[in-house]
């Protein structure tokens, strides 16, 4: 299942042109999303549920890239689970479009809570089509109840928090 979740092409920011898009924060982690028939709804645009699925893929891709994989989650009996989504659908996307999907960790309290920000930009129009924030809470996988982040979570996630730098 995780292999399927990461089917999108992962993009290294240093070797592609997508870093020049109008991102809301610096140094995005980017996954390219090719819109296919499977993503299209009865209105002939991308179904809103497909965006939520893509958020999950981008978040897992980023987590894996910084060394926190499902294997580590299971070994530590911990997981970061969604507590709340705030989704903003700005422009419709259509069949055969390519969307640059970015994420950043914007908050980590090193205890229980983490927040990610997402921004999706059409590579054709270069316009932001979707934004979201997702709040996560750390839980014990075996108990399903909130538990403190293990050191590898708190260190890795907090070391990857992105902030808007003020010059």
- For 45-66, what is each residue's pLDDT tens digit? 999 999 999 999 999 999 999 9
Is the Cα dihedral 154, 155, 157, 161 positive or negative?
A: positive
Task: Tell whether 55 is covered by a domain.
Answer: yes
Domain count, the chain: 1
Encoded tokens for 106: 């914007």
CATH number at residue 60: 3.10.129.10
Residue 19 lies in a domain: yes
Boundaries of domain holding 31: 2-75+85-108+115-133
54 phi and psi, to 5 degrees? -70, -35
Contact 150, 78 (CB under 8 A): yes
Q: Is residue 10 part of a domain?
A: yes
Q: Say if residue 114's pLDDT is above 80.
A: yes
Mean pLDDT, the chain, rounded, equals 90
Between CA 72 and CA 52 the distance in angstroms is: 24
Q: What pTM was computed for the model?
A: 0.89
- Measured torsion, CA atoms of residues 62, 67, 70, 72, in degrees rounded to the nearest 10: -160
Say if 138 falls within a structural domain. no
Q: Does residue 166 lie within any of the structural domains? A: no
């Amino acid at each position: 299942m995780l292999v399927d979740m990461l089917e999108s092409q992962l993009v290294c920011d240093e070797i592609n042109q997508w870093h020049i898009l109008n991102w809301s924060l610096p140094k995005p982690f980017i996954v390219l999303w090719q819109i296919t028939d499977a993503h299209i709804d009865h209105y002939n645009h991308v179904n809103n549920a497909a965006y939520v699925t893509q958020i999950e893929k981008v978040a897992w891709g980023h987590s894996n890239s910084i060394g926190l994989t499902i294997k580590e989650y299971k070994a530590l009996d911990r997981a970061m689970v969604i507590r709340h989504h705030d989704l903003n659908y700005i422009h419709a996307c259509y069949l055969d479009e390519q969307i640059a999907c970015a994420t950043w960790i914007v908050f980590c309290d090193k205890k229980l809570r983490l927040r990610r920000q997402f921004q999706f930009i059409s590579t054709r129009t270069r316009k932001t089509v979707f934004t979201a924030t997702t709040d996560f809470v750390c839980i014990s996988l075996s108990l399903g109840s909130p538990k403190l982040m293990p050191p590898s979570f708190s260190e890795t996630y907090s070391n990857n928090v992105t902030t808007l730098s003020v010059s």
